[in-house]
Structure formats: C-alpha cells, structure tokens
C-alpha cells in the first residue's frame, strides 16, 4: 500500500529525494504545494519536472479522509470523518475570541477504559497515521474556509499510545512550511502514560502538556481510570515535575467534575496539597453527559465551591468554557451513535 504524502515530515521528504538522486530542496517545493497552495493533485506541482511528479505518483497517494457528517451549535462544529477502511473518527472546531481551535482524534477507539469517557467504551481498533490527523485540520479548514490557529490532541484515543505518529503529526503541523501551528498553540492531553511523558519532554518541540487527572487520590482514580493501577498519582506527579524541569513549560491538570464522585471540598483540598508550589494550573471541566454512561455533571454550586477552595489554597485554576453540549461533543459520542446505527 502506498504511503500518503501528507504522512511525511519535511526531513523525511528530504531524505526520500536524496535517496532517489534528487536535491533535497524538492521537499520544500512539495511542502509549499501541499500546505501553502493547498494543492492535492501532484500533476499540478508545476515547478517540479514531470519525471519527479510521475515518481511521486508511483510512490505516494494524496487520498483524503471524507466528511461523513457535521453537526453545529453556537461557537462549535463537530465532524464525523470516514477513513479509507470505513472506520470513523471525530474532530471538533471551537471558535474562541483568540482564534479557531480544533480538537483532533489520535486513534480509532481507545484502550484506556476511563469509566466516564464515551471513547473508553469503544475499544481501540487501530492507531491513526499522521496523515489522518493532519487531514482532519486540512479538511475542516477547507470546509469552513477558515484558518485554524490552535490544535488540541484531545479527541478519541490516547495520544501517547500512538507516540511515533503523534510526534510526526506535531512536526508536520509545526513546520514553518507546513500548517504553521506554533508549538505553544499545540496541546497534547494524556491520561498519564508515564514513560512516554519522559520521551515527550525530549522531542525538542515545546508544546503544551495536559494531564487528565480527574481524581485527587489513588483509590478514587483507580476506580475511574485503570491506568492509575499501573502509574499511580505519585509516579505521575514525579513525571510532571521532571517534565517541568526539562521544558520549563507550565502543565495543565484536567479535572472533569462528576457529581458526588470527585467534586467534594475534601477532593479540592487533596488536589491543592498535591500540587502546591508546582508550575501547573487546574482546568475544571463541566462533564458532558452521555446516555450510555451513568455519571452526571456536578452542580454549578459545587464547581464554584471547588474552584474557590483551590484558589484559597494557592492553586491557579480555571473553569473550562462549555462547548457543544447540544451536539454530542463529548469524545466518541457521534462515532458511537454511528456505530449503533
């Protein structure tokens, strides 16, 4: 099976051209056609001689994922994409006052099994290739005629369980001749695969790291998130500390607010004690309820009390703005409904 041209970093493309006896600057020309001129037809790469274009067509494809369905609400649109093997993934575009942000998927399904997550009910089928993540961005930009300014890798799947493809994807979208998303506008969210957090710290691109914590102690987190039985909060905290030391980049702690599960004042006090003095901030997330799972979102009063408790104990904290509650914007909901059909 041919490799997709959108799957290659510029360095990989330079190496390809050198291996076929051509100058590596051809890679820059190809990147300009793909990402600046948004030309998908290799025959139209007019400043590249025909023999090279023919060779590119022999070795690569430029096939795109397809938009299967789109749902819209205020300030948000959700896409269901059909892949070449008829699997489905999702992406969500959110309109902020500072620009347009897209949440992309990294796997078809997910094996992490977080109990409150719709994606966790849908077991992992396979990893996404880098091009399938790149094309989520390109397809949305084309469909809406907009420029996406920030990317969050927070959709279906655990990104660090697809490490090599994720790194390739980040390099492509961060490239000054690629999609040109600045490193500080790229956020990766992980449930806490500790060895991969250490690897991520050393890739040389200063992206933002978000840790899906969602509990303030090991007993509760192990009930909600099976990964905690392998990498406890203490082990994860040490990885966060080491990541901070290597990158000097503040880390986000994500905390979904589940009614009468993890939203007590005692949980807030435990969380404050855990991260006191560290360069982190906590992002409280109102839960997107799903008909397939039993969890309910915390009340506004409980969220406000939790927020105030963290603030009083010296923790930087925000409450995430809600998007897409009316269009099944929680990860996996649209894909899940399509599978049930």
Active site residue 90: yes
Active site residue 103: no
Q: Which residue do the tokens 């998130």 mark?
A: 225
Q: Which pLDDT band holds residue 322 (cuts at 50, 70, 90)? A: confident
Q: Counting beta carbons within 10 angstroms of the beta carbon of residue 273, is it exposed (0 to 12), middle (13 to 18) or buried (19 or more)?
A: exposed
Per residue in 63-80, pLDDT (tens digit) is 999 999 999 998 999 999
pLDDT at 1: 82
Averaged pLDDT, 139-156: 97
Per residue in 194-210, pLDDT (tens digit) is 999 999 999 999 999 99
Order of strands across the sheet that contains 99-104: 66-73, 76-82, 88-96, 99-104, 150-153, 186-190, 208-212, 251-257, 280-286, 317-319
Catalytic residue among 90, 135, 158, 254: 90
Cα 283 from chain centre: 16
Catalytic residue among 103, 110, 191, 331: 331
Q: Is the dihedral of CA 225, 229, 231, 236 positive or negative?
A: positive
pLDDT at 331: 52
Taking the C-alpha atoms of 219, 223, 227 and 229 in order, what is their torsion angle to the nearest 10 degrees? 50
Phi then psi dihedrals of residue 165, to 5 deg: -70, -35
Q: Which pLDDT band holds residue 223 (cuts at 50, 70, 90)? A: very high
Cβ atoms within 10 A of the Cβ of 77, count?
21
pLDDT at 340: 43
CA atoms within 13 A on the CB side of 302: 19
Instruction: Count the residues in the chain.
Output: 341
Domains of the chain (ranges plus CATH)?
A: 3-61 (1.10.150.530), 66-340 (3.20.20.70)
Token pair belonging to 136? 């989520």
Task: With beta carbons less than 8 A apart as the criterion, state whether 107 and 126 touch.
Answer: yes
% of the chain exceeding 70 in pLDDT = 94
Taking the C-alpha atoms of 26, 28, 33 and 38 in order, what is their torsion angle to the nearest 10 degrees? 150
């Amino acid at each position: 099976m041919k490799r997709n041209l959108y799957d290659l970093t510029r360095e990989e493309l330079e190496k390809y051209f050198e291996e076929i006896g051509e100058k590596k600057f051809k890679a820059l020309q190809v990147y300009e056609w793909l990402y600046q001129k948004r030309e998908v037809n290799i025959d139209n790469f007019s400043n590249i001689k025909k023999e090279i274009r023919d060779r590119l067509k022999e070795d690569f494809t430029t096939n795109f994922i397809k938009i299967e369905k789109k749902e819209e609400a205020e300030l948000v649109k959700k896409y269901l994409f059909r892949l070449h093997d008829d699997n489905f993934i999702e992406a969500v575009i959110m309109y902020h006052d500072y620009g347009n942000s897209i949440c992309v998927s990294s796997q078809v399904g997910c094996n992490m099994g977080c109990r409150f997550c719709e994606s966790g009910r849908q077991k992992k089928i396979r990893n996404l290739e880098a091009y399938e993540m790149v094309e989520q961005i390109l397809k949305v930009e084309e469909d809406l005629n907009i420029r996406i300014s920030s990317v969050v890798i927070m959709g279906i799947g655990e990104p660090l369980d697809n490490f090599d493809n994720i790194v390739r994807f980040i390099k492509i979208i961060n490239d000054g001749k690629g999609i040109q998303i600045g490193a500080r506008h790229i956020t990766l969210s992980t449930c806490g695969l500790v060895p991969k957090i250490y690897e991520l710290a050393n890739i040389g691109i200063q992206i933002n790291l978000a840790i899906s914590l969602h509990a303030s102690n090991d007993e509760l987190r192990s009930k909600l998130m099976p990964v905690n039985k392998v990498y406890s909060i203490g082990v994860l905290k040490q990885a966060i500390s080491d990541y901070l030391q290597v990158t000097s980049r503040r880390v986000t702690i994500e905390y979904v607010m589940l009614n009468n599960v993890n939203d007590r004042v005692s949980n807030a006090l435990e969380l404050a004690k855990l991260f006191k003095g560290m360069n982190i901030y906590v992002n409280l997330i109102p839960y997107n309820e799903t008909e397939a799972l039993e969890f309910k979102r915390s009340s506004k009063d409980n969220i406000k009390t939790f927020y105030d408790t963290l603030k009083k104990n010296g923790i930087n904290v925000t409450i995430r703005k809600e998007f897409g509650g009316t269009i099944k914007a929680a990860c996996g909901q649209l894909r899940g409904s399509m599978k049930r059909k």
